[in-house]
Structure formats: C-alpha cells, structure tokens
C-alpha cells in the first residue's frame, strides 16, 4: 500500500561517508553513534545496511534494535541474540549460514550455555572467526544499547560490561569484527566510557537533527520525499515550521499529518497551521509544568537551564552554581542526578563529547521558555 506522509531519508551524505570510511578500515575500535532523540540515528542505520551492506557474500550484519524487544534478563538476551539452527534444515545451513542477523546455536550448545558450562561470548567469537575465514566481513550493530543496562550475567556480572569487554577484544585486540553501538542516552555512553575505560578503544560520532537547508528542501518537495499530494507549503510556512521544530524529522512528520486533516484547495490555511503548531508548543510546556509544578528546586533548575539555552543554545553543569549557593540542592551529586533524570525522560539531550546539555529539540526549547515566562507573570 502506498501511504502518504512517509518519513523521508534526506541527505546524510556526510554521515554515510563517515560510516563507509569506518567500514573500509580494519576493525580497531568500537564506534558509538549518539544524538538527540528522533534525530534519525535508526533510520540512518537501516539505510546504511540496506544500501551498502546487503551483499551476503561480503558482509554478515548482526543487527539488534533493542527498541523493538524487551530484555530484562540474561535469558532474554540469549533469546534475542542467538538462534537455534536445525541440523536437518539443509537450506538454512548451506545457503543462509552467513546471512543470519543473529548468532547460531545448536541445541546442545544452547543447553551448555544455559547450564553455565559454556560462555556465549566464546560461541560468538567462533562464528566471527568462521566468517573471517570465509572472507566475509562481520558487523555487529546494536541500536538503543542502554536497554541492556541493569541486566546481569551469571547473577553477578553486568551484561553490558561483559559485552563491551568482548567488543574491545573483537575490535582493538583481534580485529575480527566491526562494532557499532547506538544510543540516544548520552549519559549512558559517558557511564560506559568511565566504567570500562573505553576512551582509547572507541570513537564517538554524533547524528544531530537535520540542518535548515535539508528541512527547506524536504518541505519544498513533499510529494517527492513524503508522497504528500494534498497540499504545498509556502516559503513563509516552511520558515514558520523551522522556527518551531528545527531539524526534528519525527516532529515535523507528525505536524504534516495534522496539516493533512485541515488542508483545503491544496493549501494549509495560515490560521489552521498556527493552531496546530501552538498545540504542540502547549504540549511541550505541559511536560515542564508536570515535572516542576510546586517543586521549588526543580523550578529553579529549569529557570537556570532556560537562561543559558536561550543565550547559548546549551548549558553546562558549571553554569549551575547558583542552585548550590542559594541552597536549592545540597551538592553537585543532587544536581547531576536531576539532570540525568531529565535526560532519561527526554527533556534534555546530553552530548558526552562536549559535556553539554541541550533541550530535546526546538519545540522543547520553546515549551520550556513558555513555562519559565509564565512564572514571572
């Protein structure tokens, strides 16, 4: 079925070039892909796999999108990362052996792993070595890696740490496999950096929101890029959308869906457009109201964040001294915990490479400023 208002894949040539260069080098480090929520990381990954890694005679892509599954235990991990191979399925063994998206297990191997007689990472390494011997390049891609946090291996060891240690061994030490790990939680990436000492064994690459020129191109070519035939936008309307949503593809797609419901004669009336956009801004404001209403420390934190974001576009922990000096928080750790909560709840985006906090998109910036301004009334 040919739906309209499909999410487009616009440009990203710089990101594609970077990934192709990374892939052309011998595996030597873990690549962390990070960026704000709904900036297009997953879409980029899928496009890269489909466009450049689809040849099973050259590549074996083990791709795990943890947004699509629930992993709350070690057993869940085994179920999602491994597949039982039927020894009687000759087609599976002979023609699809190295085109599986997961790692292979025999029934006996699975039993030994469950009985703690065999380490699953040894099974993974064996398959990666087999692929290399076949001159096939293995690539492990895990999207939304933070879903593995607080899952334990053998009841004591954190699964995520065991995985990271394994990936370091497969990249920097044995050069058997490329590893790409994606997350929208910059705090989580920083935690891995500090806990696993990854600074010399990994590299960070940010996928940010689209720049203005790409958004203008998209909104000027809605039929070509999103199959929208019911209306066209004027230059002024495109500028209005950019001012309120920036380069957030998902949010703009959502707004376009609302425009489809109010358009007439191949146009979106300006008044209707403003009403739709205003509802989005009110919703963003309500998030902050629910978070901080009648809570003085949280309200003061939001006021400080808004002040710096409106001035510089970001805020750093070092900018928040007033909150400590005036007694709103007992110490640095309390402030950090509150900031971390805002990141986890998708109010803020934390860039681990720059140690900066930004709002999760332009609409959240406007919503926060609306909330703060209303406090002064």
Both 59 and 149 in one domain: the answer is: yes
What is the pLDDT, as a whole number, of residue 45?
96
| CA distances, 321 to each of 8, 265, 318, 332, 333 (Å) | 42, 55, 6, 9, 13
Q: Residue 358 has what DSSP assignment?
A: E
What is the pLDDT, as a whole number, of residue 31?
95
Judge whether 279 lies within some domain. Answer: no
What is the pLDDT, as a whole number, of residue 96?
40
Judge whether 1 lies within some domain. Answer: no
* Domain termination residue (choose one: 222, 240, 268): 268
Judge whether 62 lies within some domain. Answer: yes
Both 235 and 195 in one domain: the answer is: no
Listed as ranges, residues in the chain with pLDDT below 50 are 90-99
pTM: 0.90
Q: Do 317 and 336 meet the contact criterion of CB atoms below 8 Å apart? A: yes
Both 102 and 249 in one domain: the answer is: no
Both 247 and 126 in one domain: the answer is: no
For 65, phi and psi rounded to 5 degrees? -95, 100
pLDDT per residue over 235-275, tens digit each? Answer: 999 999 999 999 999 999 999 999 999 999 999 999 999 99
What is the pLDDT, as a whole number, of residue 98?
40
pLDDT per residue over 200-215, tens digit each? Answer: 889 999 999 999 999 9
Both 24 and 126 in one domain: the answer is: yes
What is the pLDDT, as a whole number, of residue 76?
87
Both 253 and 350 in one domain: the answer is: no
Judge whether 354 lies within some domain. Answer: yes
What is the pLDDT, as a whole number, of residue 75?
84
* Domain termination residue (choose one: 185, 206, 227): 206
User: Considering its fold, how many domains does the chain have in total?
Assistant: 3
At 326, which CATH number?
Answer: 1.10.10
Both 263 and 223 in one domain: the answer is: yes
Question: What is the rounded CA–CA span in Å between residue 67 and residue 101?
Answer: 16
What is the pLDDT, as a whole number, of residue 84?
76
Both 112 and 136 in one domain: the answer is: yes
What is the pLDDT, as a whole number, of residue 92?
47
> Cα 8 to the chain's mean position, in Å?
17
Both 109 and 178 in one domain: the answer is: yes
Average pLDDT, the chain: 91
Q: Do 283 and 246 meet the contact criterion of CB atoms below 8 Å apart? A: no
What is the pLDDT, as a whole number, of residue 87?
53
Cβ partners under 8 Å of residue 35, min gap 6: 41, 184, 206, 207, 208, 209, 349
Both 117 and 148 in one domain: the answer is: yes
The boundaries of the domain holding residue 192 are: 13-206
> Cα 86 to the chain's mean position, in Å?
35
Question: What is the rounded CA–CA span in Å between residue 91 and residue 103?
Answer: 17
């Amino acid at each position: 079925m040919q739906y309209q208002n499909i999410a487009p894949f616009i440009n990203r040539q710089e990101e594609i070039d970077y990934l192709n260069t990374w892939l052309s080098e011998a595996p030597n480090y873990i690549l962390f892909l990070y960026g704000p929520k709904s900036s297009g990381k997953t879409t980029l990954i899928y496009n890269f796999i489909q466009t450049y890694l689809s040849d099973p005679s050259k590549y074996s892509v083990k791709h795990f999108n943890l947004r699509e599954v629930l992993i709350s235990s070690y057993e869940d991990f085994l179920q999602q990362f491994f597949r039982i191979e039927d020894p009687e399925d000759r087609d599976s063994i002979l023609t699809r052996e190295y085109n599986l998206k997961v790692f292979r297990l025999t029934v006996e191997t699975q039993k030994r792993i469950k009985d703690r007689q065999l380490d699953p990472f040894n099974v993974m390494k064996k398959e990666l070595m087999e692929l290399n011997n076949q001159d096939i390049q293995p690539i492990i891609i895990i999207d939304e890696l933070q879903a593995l946090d607080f899952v334990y291996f053998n009841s004591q060891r954190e699964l995520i740490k065991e995985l990271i240690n394994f990936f370091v061994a497969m990249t920097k030490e044995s050069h058997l496999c490329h590893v790409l790990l994606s997350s929208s939680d910059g705090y989580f990436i920083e935690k891995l950096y500090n806990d696993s000492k990854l600074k010399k064994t990994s590299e960070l690459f940010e996928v940010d929101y689209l720049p203005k020129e790409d958004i203008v191109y998209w909104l000027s070519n809605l039929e070509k890029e999103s199959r929208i035939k019911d209306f066209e936008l004027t230059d002024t309307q495109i500028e209005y959308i950019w001012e309120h949503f920036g380069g957030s593809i998902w949010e703009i797609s959502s707004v376009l869906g609302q425009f489809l419901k109010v358009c007439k004669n191949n146009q979106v009336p300006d008044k209707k457009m403003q009403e739709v956009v205003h509802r989005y801004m009110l919703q963003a404001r309500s998030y902050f109201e629910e978070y901080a209403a009648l809570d003085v420390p949280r309200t003061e934190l939001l006021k400080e964040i808004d002040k710096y974001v409106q001035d510089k576009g970001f805020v750093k922990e070092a900018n928040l001294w007033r909150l400590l000096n005036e007694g709103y928080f007992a110490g640095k750790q309390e402030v950090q915990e509150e900031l971390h909560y805002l990141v986890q709840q998708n109010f803020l985006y934390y860039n681990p490479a720059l140690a900066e906090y930004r709002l999760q998109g332009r609409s959240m910036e406007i919503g926060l400023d609306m909330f703060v301004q209303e406090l002064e009334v």
